[in-house]
Amino acid sequence: MRILLIEDDRRQANRLVRALEENGHKAVTFRSEPDGIRASSGEPRFDIAVVDLSPWGSDAVELVRAMREAGCDIPLLLLSGRGEVEDRVEGLRAGADVYLVRPYALAEFLARVDSLGRRVERPTMLEWGGVVVDAVSRTTLIQGSPVALTRTEFNLLEYLILKRGRVVTRSQLRATIWNSDLEGHTRVVDVYVHYLRRKLADAGVPDLIETVRKVGYSIGR
């Protein structure tokens, strides 16, 4: 995805851009609010926007409101150090689709970005290595034959194919598939990869998912 990042802290901007690009996205950073507002509703279009202003800077909620008033209609993630219920409600009412409170785990940030990315129009059919995944009917064909997957197995396979060519960490999978950043869920990831691999092998594609030792998993790397 092409991501608009409005961030007034250069060090934090570099951190987020690095994480986004390592996750396969293209991030364009604006430190000037007027430039960011114009870019959010201009051409070429961005897929999603991320707003993160330091506590001593401008009001991030007002910036979000200004972006919406200027015609920005893309999914928007607001990062904030204000975590009270009233603050979150105000941010969402101003136009944010997701309100994430600092401090947050980087894996959760990336998972929220991916979640917003699902709202972006993209092909409903994914294909790789003889495996076809239909995101609309939530069906899977392997070598032309249907294979029954559980909801979690389907989500796992779909996500790995979406990220094909890149390594997906266990923490990314925990945050995206299980909506959790708890370390204790590492075993759950490995167990479901084992289940999925067994079904893939039974259907004739035993080597689709690669294990990247001490990191995670990959398809098509």
Q: Kindly list the strands in the beta sheet with 167-169, ordered across the sheet, starting from the edge strand earlier in the chain.
A: 167-169, 216-219, 209-212
Phi, psi of 146, rounded to the nearest 5 degrees: -70, 140
Host H or E run for residue 5: strand 2-7
Decide the pairing of beta strands 48-52 and 76-80. parallel
Which single residue is written with the structure tokens 């009917």? Answer: 137
Which single residue is written with the structure tokens 């975590």? Answer: 83
CATH T-level topology, domain 125-219: Arc Repressor Mutant, subunit A (1.10.10)
Half-sphere exposure of 25 (CA within 13 A, CB side): 25
Superfamily of chain region 2-117: Response regulator (3.40.50.2300)
Where does the pLDDT of residue 196 fall: very low under 50, low under 70, confident under 90, or very high at 90 and above? very high
Q: Which tokens sit at 6?
A: 């409005």
Distance CA 147, CA 53 (A): 47
Highest-confidence range of 7-11, 55-59, 130-134, 172-176, by mean pLDDT?
Answer: 130-134
pTM score, two decimals? Answer: 0.58
Whole-angstrom distance between the N-terminal and C-terminal Cα of the chain?
19
Residue 183: the pLDDT is 53
Distance CA 193, CA 18 (A): 27
CB-based contact 66:39 (threshold 8 Å): no
Residue ranges per domain, the chain?
2-117, 125-219
Residue 56: the pLDDT is 46
Nearest to 210 by CA among 202, 187, 200, 123: 200
- Residue of higher predicted confidence among 202 and 181: 202
- Residue 211 in this model has a pLDDT that exceeds 90: yes
Inter-CA distances, 22 with 57, 98, 164, Å: 28, 22, 13
Residue 122: the pLDDT is 61
